[in-house]
Amino acid sequence: MNRIRSERGRVGGHSTAGGHTGGVTVAPTEHAAAPAPMLGDFGGGPFGIYVHVPFCATRCGYCDFNTYTAGELGTSASPQSWLAALRGELATAAAAFDALPTAQPPVSTVFVGGGTPSLLGGDGLAEVLAAIRANFTLAPGAEVTTESNPESTSPHFFDRIRAAGYTRVSLGMQSAATHVLRILDRTHTPGRAVAAAREARAAGFDHVNLDLIYGTPGESDADLDASLDAVLAAGVDHVSAYSLIVEDGTAMARKVRRGELPAPDEDTLAARYERIDARLAAAGFDWYEVSNWATTTSARCRHNLGYWDGGDWLGAGPGAHSHLGGVRWWNVKHPGRYAERVARGGLPAAGWEQLTAAERYTERVMLAVRLRTGLPVRELDPDGRSAGERLVSDGLVVLDGDRLVLTARGRLLADAVVRDLLA
């Protein structure tokens, strides 16, 4: 069974749609400011800001994100130096955007990810949002999300960030089974995520997400059912569920290579996905992206929808990716070097690229297919339309009006559907 691709949903910080794909790529010199051609032009749609917080208390065994523990950083960087550099980057980016021919739109969504943003505390996250407001205009009703580790939250934390202007919280739960959390090297206790979700709701957050990871070695159907029971008991309005992918270079990958852990089984992953989808659907959750479910349209993550719909965004912080009108750039990864580059002036970019028409087409197909709204047939080239007809016959997609939409079986084979449409 083809793996259900795990799009982590934070494209601005990582390499899904926010990663570089080839194209016309330029790496700025070590001491140069970001070149003017790096900036494209606003595409006329929603504009979002992603902020990458690179700090974690410990490193999870499955994680390959751009994160660092205090021991790994030593004295080269700190939350304080990172925040000072972030302010500088935001100011430089705002000035560069103001010089573009197209007027800068208001910021419709903000997403603070990591890493572990909640390690900054409520006051630190309030400062992050204040730095954004000092340089950009937030649209009325802007969605403002932060990720949080349940162990570094509290009722006071949620009260503080709600007062600061955050409107949405995403909590990393992963599993309700202690032994599964241990294999993932997660440090929170199983019940803490549910308690944190309830605390967030009590603080006035209407929109709270819980993240699950399924398919961990040693996880049983009963473990997954217990996790789903906990999620539904928490009263959240959004759930993200990702299949475990063993990424090269991680501690888990080394354990699998040594035979200490089995690799995730494809058929098991597919069965678990179907189990999750059925339970969530019965509880009133609708899927709107292959790995994401929400109880209402307003509960859907508008920031991530901006990525999937090909919108524009600024990614600020170490390793963050940005996209503007078909031009993409990505920041240097290490927090110390990031701060040094900001201090020299200009954007702290490690490289940039101008996407070709072919690459933009590929990304549009790859991302739109994953959405419940599907992909308009008119956007496909002739070969893609022919492939779409075959996929309808095979029962992997249906034609909903003028759009190709994945069936339940098609969601299990989403990568194969994309490959066929692009072949």
Distance CA 113, CA 47 (A): 17
Which residues are registered as beta bridge partners of 321?
330
How close are the terminal C-alpha atoms of the chain, in Å?
Answer: 20
Which residues are registered as beta bridge partners of 47?
107, 312
The two tokens of residue 121 are 């505390």
The answer to whether residue 27 is domain-embedded is no
Residue 53 contacts residue 59 (beta carbons within 8 Å): no
Give the pLDDT of the chain (423 residues) as one tens digit per residue. 332 333 334 344 443 333 333 444 455 444 344 445 467 888 888 999 999 999 887 766 666 667 777 777 777 788 899 999 999 999 999 999 998 888 889 999 999 999 899 999 999 999 999 999 999 999 999 999 999 999 999 999 999 999 999 999 999 999 998 988 888 887 667 789 999 999 999 999 999 999 999 998 888 999 999 999 999 999 999 999 999 877 777 777 788 788 888 887 889 999 999 999 999 999 999 999 999 999 999 999 999 999 999 999 999 999 999 999 889 999 999 999 999 999 998 889 999 899 999 999 999 999 999 999 999 999 999 999 999 999 999 999 999 999 999 999 999 999 999 999 999
Residue 238 contacts residue 293 (beta carbons within 8 Å): yes
The answer to whether residue 375 is domain-embedded is yes
Q: Do 350 and 371 share a domain, yes or no? A: no
Distance CA 343, CA 84 (A): 9
The answer to whether residue 12 is domain-embedded is no
The two tokens of residue 323 are 């996209």
**Could you tell me the residue range of the domain that residue 41 belongs to?**
34-354
Residue 214 contacts residue 276 (beta carbons within 8 Å): yes
The answer to whether residue 78 is domain-embedded is yes
Q: Do 319 and 382 share a domain, yes or no? A: no
The answer to whether residue 51 is domain-embedded is yes
pLDDT at position 12: 46
Q: Do 272 and 402 share a domain, yes or no? A: no
pLDDT at position 81: 92
The two tokens of residue 252 are 């888990």
Give per-residue pLDDT as tens, 358-404. Answer: 999 999 999 999 999 999 999 999 999 999 999 999 999 999 999 99
Q: Do 295 and 379 share a domain, yes or no? A: no
Give per-residue pLDDT as tens, 95-112. Answer: 999 988 888 899 999 999
Which residues are registered as beta bridge partners of 334?
none
Q: Do 379 and 335 share a domain, yes or no? A: no
Tally the domains of the chain.
Answer: 2
Q: Do 232 and 365 share a domain, yes or no? A: no
E-strand stretches of 7-166: 24-26, 47-53, 107-114, 138-148
Question: End of a domain among 300, 325, 354?
Answer: 354
Question: End of a domain among 297, 326, 354?
Answer: 354
Looking up residue 399, the CATH number of its domain turns out to be 1.10.10
Question: End of a domain among 317, 337, 354?
Answer: 354
The answer to whether residue 17 is domain-embedded is no
- pTM for the whole structure: 0.90
Residue of 4, 2, 13 lying closest to 317 (CA atoms)? 13
Q: Do 380 and 418 share a domain, yes or no? A: yes
Helices (H), 99-215: 121-135, 155-164, 178-184, 192-202
Looking up residue 314, the CATH number of its domain turns out to be 3.20.20.70
Distance CA 162, CA 110 (A): 14
The answer to whether residue 295 is domain-embedded is yes
Phi, psi of 293 (to 5 degrees): -130, 145
Residue 112 contacts residue 125 (beta carbons within 8 Å): yes
DSSP string, 81-98: HHHHHHHHHHHHHHHHHH
E-strand stretches of 167-250: 168-174, 207-214, 238-243
Q: Do 87 and 215 share a domain, yes or no? A: yes
Phi, psi of 345 (to 5 degrees): 100, 155
Q: Do 284 and 295 share a domain, yes or no? A: yes
Q: Which residues contact 158 (CB under 8 A, 6 or more apart)?
A: 122, 169, 196, 199, 200, 202, 203, 205
Distance CA 66, CA 83 (A): 17
The answer to whether residue 15 is domain-embedded is no
pLDDT at position 188: 65
The two tokens of residue 85 are 């550099």
Residue 47 contacts residue 313 (beta carbons within 8 Å): yes
The two tokens of residue 225 are 């059912």
Q: Do 277 and 374 share a domain, yes or no? A: no
Q: Do 229 and 90 share a domain, yes or no? A: yes
Q: Do 147 and 237 share a domain, yes or no? A: yes
Residue of 365, 386, 351, 259 lying closest to 23 (CA atoms)? 351
